[in-house]
Structure 1
Amino acid sequence: MRKRGYHHGNLKQALVDAALELIREKGPTGFTLSEAAKQAGVTPAAVYRHFAGREDLIAEAARQGYEIFADVVQYAYDKGQPSALAAFEATGRAYLAFAKKYPGHYIAMFESGISVNRNPDLAAVAQRARNVLEKAAGDLSQHIPPEKRPPASMFSAHIWAMSHGVVELFARNSPGTQSPFAPEDLLESGIGIYLRGLGLIHPDQ
């Protein structure tokens, strides 16, 4: 484990970076504040200048993760325009790409047990990410007759759940859950089946 240091008073970020490394190695409950302090190169007492406890530290790591995640899915959505279908599919792929590139943030966000309502800043940025996904779903669902149209929040939640399942089972090297298919292919085919069921893409696509 590489010991980190901090510079120019950036203690708070040094502690978050240390926590992210520990989360990747040991999980969100597998380390102490003292370990995070040691990793950052400061005394345990210094941690309490910024965080009341380990859960507050993990919540800040999650908040920063949601900031990145919201930017990633917004970029994917924008890149897919003007096609509602392309934008929607891109946000699903962005979820998988984020989980693979930022595993520490992903775990802090989705596997730590920290509620997104723990503090207002975390709740706001988590909502910003959800809003992008719901916007993509809402755009695409306009092509469904109103009487058959699911709420955009439900539509996006289905894809979020599918993306999350692929990540958890097949993209994070979970023991005993190796798939003969790439996670990206599993997600793409799953989204395709879902969209065909809604009549949004042709059965032969």
Structure 2
Amino acid sequence: MAKAGYHHGNLRQALVDAALRLIEAQGPGGFSLSEAAKDAGVTPAAVYRHFAGREDLIAECARQGYLIFGDVMEHAWNGGQPSALAGFGATGRAYLAFARRFPGHYVAMFESGIAVNRTPDLAAAAERAERVMLRATEALSRHIPEDRRPPARMVAAHVRAMSHGVVELFARAPGSQSPYAPEDLLESGIGIYLRGLGLLPPDR
């Protein structure tokens, strides 16, 4: 019987899909190329027609993840509509939603140790996703007096770190316990941060 990957002419993507399942179940370092090949229904030798090694396979998982992530962030930002503040908050929530909906991609992107500059295509996909958050912080920062305005990249890095922390501690960690939903934790954290920048009025 012909292997499904060969029959459909999409062996490369079948291997990526297999790797994503294994990454989600076992982590980025918890599987071999042979396991990915077996999951995809092909021989181990077939893998090398498309990927030089396991890290190249994981890098392709990350690249595809960044493409999806960029689309999710673009949709959330929506040109800053109805306001830069609303769009900014939406990008934070989109980060959590992506991590939940695409855990294999998320781990390949942020927890595999694969450098984003490993390939030009991976770097371009990552840069596109980062630009969305940068545009959001630039639009929001325009409301801060120039002499008190932090660099937009710094603000984007702070929010990204906060989002990643909430994901790791409360949204993905098995058995994690929190009295608050991850979305509420992130929203309140961003609110405190924005108040410190003078972008939100103080609580009364």
Flag whether TM exceeds 0.5 (same fold).
yes
SS at the partner of 2:8?
coil
Match of 2:29 in 1: 29
Distance in 2 of aligned mates of 1:179 and 1:59 = 33
- Give the alignment of 1:1-205 within 5 angstroms: 5-6=4-5, 7-78=7-78, 80-175=80-175, 177-204=176-203
Q: TM-score, normalised by structure 1?
A: 0.95
8 A Cα contact 1:168 1:174, kept in partner:
no
Structure 2: distance between partners of 1:66 and 1:180:
31
Cα offset, 1:9, TM superposition: 1.0
CA deviation string 1:99-129 (max 9, x = no partner): 0000000000000000001000000010000
1:57 Cα shift? 0.1
TM-superposed CA distance for 1:173, in Å, is 2.6
Q: Structure 2-normalised TM-score?
A: 0.95
**What's the % identity of the aligned pairs?**
73
Three-state SS of the structure 1 residue aligned to 2:99 is helix
Distance 1:179 1:52 in 2: 42
> C-alpha separation between the residues in 1 aligned to 2:168 and 2:61?
19
Task: Give the RMSD, CA atoms, in angstroms.
Answer: 1.4
- Structure 1: stretches of 5+ with no match in the other structure: none
Conserved? CA contact 2:80–2:136, under 8 Å: no
8 Å contact from structure 1 (residues 162, 187) kept in 2: yes
Judge conservation of contact 1:72–1:94 (CA < 8 Å) in 2: yes
Separation in structure 1 between the aligned mates of residue 139 and residue 71 of structure 2, nearest angstrom: 19
Give the drift of 1:183.
0.4
1:57 is paired with a residue whose SS is: helix
Post-superposition CA distance 1:24-73 (Å, at most 9, x none)? 11000000000000000000000001100000000000000000000000
Distance in 1, matches of 2:22 and 2:8, equals 23
- Offset, 1:203: 1.0
CA deviation digits over 1:146-186, x for unaligned, max 9? 011011110111000000000000000345x4211110000
Instruction: Give the drift of 1:79.
Output: 6.8
